[in-house]
């Protein structure tokens, strides 16, 4: 069973979109486009911040 995590290593801001894309098995560009559209509607920023706070961080070692 998959769990929903945000990946801060592969994400652009907080890893929320990348975590959602991995969980739903879709391209991350689709999730980012959906968030941009919801930002234009006015409630996207609230949804992003809520997910940022509630989604746990994926614990991995960062490869440099």
Position 34 in a domain: yes
Give the pLDDT band (50/70/90) at residue 35.
Answer: confident
Name beta bridge partners: 54: none
Residue 13 half-sphere exposure toward CB, CA atoms < 13 A:
11
Domain membership of residue 7 (yes or no) is yes
Please check whether residue 28 lies inside any domain of the structure.
yes
Give the model confidence (pLDDT) of 46-57 as tens digits. Answer: 888 888 899 888
* pLDDT tens string 23-32: 899 998 998 8
Evaluate whether residue 63 is within a structural domain.
no
Gap between the Cα atoms of 31 and 43, Å rounded: 15
In a domain, 31, yes or no: yes
Helices of type H across 1-55: 16-24, 28-41, 44-54
- Tracing tokens 């706070």 back to the chain, one arrives at 53
**Domain extent at residue 29:** 1-57
Give the pTM. 0.76
- Domain assignment present for residue 64? The answer is no
Number of domains in the chain: 1
Are 15 and 64 in contact by the 8 Å Cβ rule? The answer is: no
Which pLDDT score is estimated for 29?
92
């Amino acid at each position: 069973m998959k769990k929903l995590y945000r990946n801060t290593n592969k994400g652009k801001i907080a890893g929320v979109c990348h975590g959602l894309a991995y969980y739903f098995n879709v391209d991350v560009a689709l999730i980012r486009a959906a968030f941009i559209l919801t930002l234009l509607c006015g409630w996207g920023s609230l949804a992003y911040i809520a997910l940022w706070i509630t989604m746990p961080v994926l614990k991995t070692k960062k490869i440099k």
